[in-house]
Amino acid sequence: MNSSIQCRGRPLENKIMESDLSKVPPLGAVLFDIDGTLGISDPFHHKAWSEVLQKVGFNGGVPITVEFGMKNMAGRTNEQIGQFLFPDWDQDQLNKLVQEKEALFECSARQHLKEINGLHKFCKWIEEKGLKRAAVTNAPRYNAELMISILGLSEFFPFIVTGEECGREKPFPDPYLEGLRKLNASPDHTLVFEDSLTGVKAGVAAGMQVIGVAAVGQEKSLAEAGAILCIRDYEDEKLWSALEKLNAC
């Protein structure tokens, strides 16, 4: 039985105490979500969804809140979001809505997308260690490739795995299992970086240790979902302290 499965039934405080990642060495691979984990994209998704939803009169034309978006939309595919918001719409209506939303998102992302603080420093560390890596996302492939390109990471990631191409999206483990398959990596020696409950649950279900990239106020919920460590960004001292201990094992 792998170490992450053994850990699932333990109290939350015990999981947090094991944030030195002592069960992971030798580390062989790192899997990243994209939205909110590599780049600060959530505000652009929120703005795009808010605009298209106001246009069609959702919620009486009152803009959706950030809290509504984080609870009901973060980490989900466009198809999942569309079906949640408009369960009675036909597929053509949903497709048109999503296309308009994606066009708005792309415009904002091309102009304003920024990396999570310290990302390129961490990517350099991964390269220097010779670790395998892949991006695993619920975003559409075009969207995923766009963001990775804007962030200058097209050469860094040999593989991008999208949920819609795996049969089942996050929170099912399928996308992360496919990432492991493509890299020929062991779940016992792979770390996952995620920012959403959906993604954390998927990584844990795939048998891996998950580090949460947590916005303010999200640490507790990500830890409860199974993240063994929560960091604010890739400059976080907690991350580098954990990596230093991992490297010493």
Active site residue 174: no
Helix segments in 88-233, DSSP class H: 91-112, 119-129, 141-150, 174-183, 197-205, 219-225
Residue 3, C-beta contacts closer than 8 angstroms, at least 6 positions apart = 23, 24, 188, 209
Half-sphere exposure of 85 (CA within 13 A, CB side): 28
**Tokens, residue 147:** 């963001």
Active site residue 233: no
Distance from C-alpha of 186 to C-alpha of 6, rounded to nearest angstrom: 16
Of the candidates 20, 35, 174, 236, the residue annotated as catalytic is: 35
The candidate with the shortest Cα–Cα distance to 245, out of 25, 20, 30, 14, is 20
**Tokens, residue 25:** 């060495």
**Tokens, residue 107:** 């415009």
Give percent helix, percent strand, percent coil of the chain, each to the nearest 5: 55, 10, 35
Question: Letter for the amino acid at 147?
Answer: M
Distance from C-alpha of 128 to C-alpha of 121, rounded to nearest angstrom: 11
Cα–Cα distance list, 17 to 126, 188, 220, 235 (Å): 24, 18, 14, 20
**Tokens, residue 240:** 């580098």
Of the candidates 20, 33, 90, 236, the residue annotated as catalytic is: 33
Please list the active-site residues: 33, 35
